[in-house]
Chain A
Amino acid sequence: MTQYLARRLAQGLAVLFLVSLLTFFLINLAPGGPSSLVDMSTTVAERNARYELFGLDRPVHERYVSWLAGAVQGDLGTSINQGLPVSRLLAQRLGATLVLGLTALVIAGVLGILLGIVAALRANRWPDHLVGTVATLGMSVPNFWLGLVAIILFAVQLRWLPASGIASIGRGFDLVDRLRHLVLPAGVLAFGLMPNIVRVTRAAVLEVKATDYVRTARSKGLRDLKVLRKHMLRNAFVPVTAMLGLITTVLFSGSVVIESVFGYAGIGRLAIEAANGRDYPVILGVTMVAATVVVVVNLIVDLLYVVIDPRMRHG
């Protein structure tokens, strides 16, 4: 088992290395890459000064090596537009995105698993069809549009919730205020995430429902709820856990758009600001951090397997 986890850790590190290679060279070798920013400078002296400032006077592979050497020590370079260390910008923003993503995950997880179970237990009857319809809608409605509609409805018309931001300006830390700002973006993000969870849960429960041990449990006279709790839930959790890595990427992708709709200062919005301002070190840093979170989540999933599924401990 330790061997298995060690191998997964090594694979995770290899993936991160490849991600850094891919993004660094995509950015630096592109025709519109960092050097094009420098070429806008007027005089030769100015151009050379900027080349040196961004380290562009060195060949690209040398720059990569020194960037990587810095990155493993937590130094991701300096923002071109803001002049601040990328790591500090990320540190300011990452927390907000994680709070948003985790809240959305909890909402989507609870709803998705519940609806998935209902759909599977009443397969091919109206509750199943209803859940299926809701899930297909969640997959089809653009989340940023849903965000706009939610703002029009709940913030502009009904005035129940704030339209944007993380907290009201000029107030100290206030949990209720923070939560009120979280409801709309997290809800919209969760609505887009839920269909995946519903589909996987439904399939898993359907599979477990047909197994011998569930039939045995039923024939012993156990009540449905107890069969569900004791025998089915644990097995249904395995595939949902397995897709946590995928869910993380979906959440990050979604946060880019949703944070812009709601003016929520997380790393998704940082990425957009950087993309609009062609702030390459920041784009690179944001992508690396997002990929690192995904890889770490995948490692946690590998660990969770061992906890949830006792067969893995001896495999």
Chain B
Amino acid sequence: MAEVLVTRSVTARHERRSRFFARALRQPMGLIAFTVLVLMVLMVVFGPAFLPHSPTRTSPLETLQPSSAEHWLGTDELGRDVFARIVHGGRVSLSVGIFSMLVGLFIGIAVGGSAGYFGGRTESVLMRIVDTFMAIPAFFLILVIVTSFGNHPVTIVVTVGVGFWAQMARSAHAEFKRFRLADFVEASRALGSHHLRLMLRHILPQVIPQATVLATLGVGWAILTEAGLSYLGLGIQPPLASWGNMLQNAQAYLFRAPILAVWPGLFIALTVLAFNVLGNSLRDILDPRA
């Protein structure tokens, strides 16, 4: 009997998986976006090992050079190789984007999920906190934290994540509230499962599709936010390159070398676009109702 149940659930999982892939194949834009992101990740992970140029070595005799076979995207105002900086900067921008999103996702699901699951007083207290964070424009909150806690890369990651968690909490709240009295949750509760097990084992999986979509769009938002912050000089600090602080440098040379402002911007736009397109496709695949 138990064996039958196990095989059934395994086949159900297989079916679900193949349905996912079948739907995914009907989303050409999503597939393209996914490919772009895979290439981007490969580039920033393995690129530095193959690049002939250092992203930080200055060479005063080769400043502001145009694209050439030697320097694919030219050099910047200190003679640094722009492509090398794009690759290394991409490492920083992508990791900040992904880890910030994870921070926001974790806090959001923990707070919003508890609010939705427990209801009552817990819910009203936690959701008032969420409202508070929603009332502060994200960038102002981020400025407050960065001014007080400094701009170490880890601080930046946490800070940008804090700018994102409230929205995640709202949707986790709604979903946990929807499922907390569902039959399968009640059944497990009747068997004596404790709260944590009910929340993690039974309700959380129901939230995953929606959370995946929000998380994917969230990475895009986080990359944009870090770029904005670094552009303003409050994020990742030189000589460590990030796409944002490369644009800050470029602004001083807007008239002499406008091309310097083009490359980092294009890479940010392309990456964020890919995350957004992928997020929208995932929404169509995972949640056909919407």
Contacts and interface: CB of A to CB of B under 8 A. Distances in A.
A280 B275 CA distance: 36
A160 B6 CA distance: 70
B149 A31 contact: yes
A290 B136 contact: yes
Interface residues on B, range: 35 or more
B137 A140 contact: no
Interface stretch (A146-154, A169-177, A230-238): A146-154
Contacts of A151: 254
Nearest to B129: A18
B60 to A, nearest CB: 26
Contacts of B141: 23, 287
Contacts of B129: 18
A3 B272 CA distance: 44
B30 to A, nearest CB: 12
A257 B137 contact: no
Contacts of B258: 152, 156
B147 interface: yes
Interface string A231-258: 0000000000000011011111110110
B140 A252 contact: yes
A271 B132 contact: no
| Chain A interface, >50% SS class | helix
Contact of A15 (B135, B233, B262): B135
Given A144-B247, A290-B137, A156 B273 contact: no
B268 to A, nearest CB: 5
Contact of B228 (A27, A144, A149, A284): A144
Interface in A164-213: none
A145 B136 contact: no
B136 A257 contact: no
B276 A256 contact: no
A26 interface: yes
A18 B265 CA distance: 37
B265 A145 contact: yes
A121 interface: no
Contacts of A246: 134
A98 interface: no
A268 to B, nearest CB: 8
A19 interface: yes
A140 B276 contact: yes
B146 A275 contact: yes
Contacts of A272: 143, 232, 234
B210 interface: no
A55 interface: no
A103 to B, nearest CB: 18
A278 interface: yes
A260 interface: yes
B280 A136 contact: yes
Contacts of A131: none
A14 interface: yes
A253 B138 contact: yes
Given A245-B135, A257-B232, 19 more contacts: A18-B128, A18-B132, A22-B136, A136-B273, A137-B273, A140-B273, A142-B224, A142-B227, A144-B228, A149-B265, A245-B134, A257-B231, A276-B234, A284-B144, A290-B137, A291-B140, A294-B135, A294-B137, A295-B135
14 contacts: A15-B128, A19-B135, A27-B147, A140-B224, A140-B272, A141-B269, A143-B228, A145-B227, A252-B137, A256-B139, A268-B139, A272-B234, A276-B233, A287-B144
User: Closest 7 CB pairs between A and B?
Assistant: A30-B148, A252-B137, A145-B265, A253-B139, A140-B273, A18-B132, A140-B272
Interface of A: 11, 14-16, 18-19, 22-23, 26-27, 30-33, 136-137, 139-145, 148-149, 151-152, 156, 245-246, 248-254, 256-257, 260, 268, 271-272, 274-276, 278, 280, 283-284, 286-287, 290-291, 294-295, 298
